[in-house]
Amino acid sequence: MITFFIAVALLIVGYIVYSKVVERIFNIEDDKPTPAYSNSDGMDYVPMSWWKGSLIQLLNIAGLGPIFGAIMGALYGPVAFIWIVIGCIFAGAVHDYFSGMLSLRHNGAQYPSLVGKYLGKTMQTGINIVSILLMILVAAAFTAGPAQLIAEITPIGFLTAVIIIFGYFLLAALLPVNKIIGRIYPVFGAILIFMAVSVGVALLVSSHQVPNLTFSNLHPGELPVWPLLMVTISCGAISGFHSTQSPIIARTLKKESDGRKVFYGAMVAEGIITLIWAAAAMTFFGGTGALAEAQAAGGPAGVVNEISTSLLGTLGGILAILGVIILPITTGDTALRSSRMMVTTLLEKGFKPAKGKAMILIGTLVVTVPAFLLSTIDYTFLWRYVGWTNQLVATVMLWTGAVYLLKNNKFHWICSIPAMFMTAVVCTYIFYAPEGLNMDYGISMISGSALTLVIIGWFIRKIFTHRKQDKRFTKAA
């Protein structure tokens, strides 16, 4: 039990202390107008209060990620607490802060545009494709799950439920950000927090004992912690999907100092939610073996329902349904909204005739149609391909932040060290995972390490090149 309390306390201290360190290194400028004012368009660039932005950001980046991911990651045992705490403070929250603040500094630019500016046009082209694909997969996966549950508990059929959900997606993607997202998402964000806190309090006052820290791998399937845990638990530790969502809120901030509360703060809140659900999952069933059986029987949604209903009664059942149906839908719609922004930016370069609302409609349809078609296939198949793509996007965003800091002669290590770590994760994972090359674990470790060293060598070369240019500039001056 004490491990859980220490983990929560560390996340809170991380926000109070380390977020200020990150903010100081970034160097905020509150005297400059933000894109919400300078680019005001009544659609995406609309000023909003920081507290409303924080709740929307939390809901955008969270959905069911910190619940389902935590439940699947709990199979590894209390070692998951370490990853959530360290990953959230030093990688995930830093990633979210830079993805949001760099967008704000560049007139609300989308994630691929930021990548292009600091990592080059070739990387931008690749990450454009990967990012849009990721968001289409997320939208599809976060539609299939709720639609299946709706079909089980109501007379509405699966396909009809999918059509209804996508009808809502179209409205949320096409209407101004303050019409639907700005009005109802703070309420849903509050529900997400209330749901997690209620489960946490009920767990603590019950007879269940949250296990204390052990470095042993308790996974019943004997799957290795490295690098699988770092991909299984993404939301709550670090998630590349967040970098595609942060520009939505970056376009609404009233001043730069709000960024720490909105971007870093929302990530820490998600980390705490993830800790609660990980603790509940590894505790409620009496061990990771029984948890694995519960997941095999009803999936993560069944685990959420059983824990919520048992600990909270009727209220728990209502919260479970709200969580499993509403929360993933609200992540899916913002995924389509941000992918619509990216597609629109691409189309505007080569498709001049369409402008304004026509371009918005075309961009929305381009991403909605494939997401709709994918949502009708197996949910578990979709989810397998979300994980690695998600962490690849996160890794590239951290390198983007590192190069930005390097070019501006700032302390780049706050981004480059977690970037190196995540590079090792995604490189090793793609060699080992079944959806990757499915190679032997030992060979995967060697191959992943070799590829990681190559990428680190690229960054070291950038450091030396920058220093030489800096010296030349100093001599010339």
Q: Which residue has the higher pLDDT, 384 or 194?
A: 194
Count of other CB atoms within 10 angstroms of residue 269: 26
Lowest mean pLDDT among 38-47, 71-80, 378-387, 415-424: 378-387
Give pLDDT tens digits for 357-389: 666 666 677 777 887 888 777 656 666 677 888
Q: What tokens does 113 get?
A: 């545009």
Count of other CB atoms within 10 angstroms of residue 43: 16
Q: Which of 61-70, 287-296, 334-343, 446-455 holds the top average pLDDT?
A: 446-455
**The pLDDT of residue 267:** 97
Angstrom distance (rounded) from CA 9 to CA 184:
30
**The pLDDT of residue 212:** 78
Give pLDDT tens digits for 123-160: 988 888 888 888 888 778 778 777 877 777 778 888 89
Indicate the average pLDDT of the chain: 86
Percentage of the chain exceeding pLDDT 90:
47
Model confidence band, residue 341 (pLDDT cutoffs 50, 70, 90): confident
Q: What tokens does 307 get?
A: 């824990």
The DSSP annotation for 73-123 comes to HGGG-THHHHHHHHHIIIIIHHHHHHHHHHHHHTTT--HHHHHHHHH-HHH
Model confidence band, residue 192 (pLDDT cutoffs 50, 70, 90): confident
Burial tier of 34 (Cβ tally within 10 Å: 0-12, 13-18, 19+): buried
Contact call for residues 296 and 284 (beta carbons, < 8 A):
no
Angstrom distance (rounded) from CA 477 to CA 470:
11
Give pLDDT tens digits for 205-249: 887 777 777 788 889 988 999 999 999 999 899 999 899 889 989
Angstrom distance (rounded) from CA 54 to CA 56:
5
Q: What tokens does 304 get?
A: 């959420």
Lowest mean pLDDT among 3-17, 324-338, 443-457: 324-338
Contact call for residues 245 and 70 (beta carbons, < 8 A):
no
Count of other CB atoms within 10 angstroms of residue 364: 22
Give pLDDT tens digits for 245-276: 899 899 999 999 999 999 999 999 999 999 99
The CATH number corresponding to 2-388 among 3.10.180.10, 3.40.50.720, 1.20.1740.10, 1.20.200.10 equals 1.20.1740.10
392 has a pLDDT exceeding 90: yes
306 has a pLDDT exceeding 70: yes
**The pLDDT of residue 379:** 57
**The pLDDT of residue 142:** 75
The mean pLDDT of 57-72, rounded to a whole number, is 83
Give pLDDT tens digits for 107-126: 999 888 999 999 998 998 88
**The pLDDT of residue 360:** 65
Peptide bond into 227 cis (omega under 30): yes
Model confidence band, residue 476 (pLDDT cutoffs 50, 70, 90): low
**The pLDDT of residue 181:** 66
User: Domain residue spans in the chain?
Assistant: 2-388
173 has a pLDDT exceeding 80: no
Its pTM stands at 0.88
Q: How many CA atoms lie within 13 A of 37 on its CB side?
A: 10
**The pLDDT of residue 141:** 75
Lowest mean pLDDT among 7-11, 179-183, 187-191, 444-448: 179-183
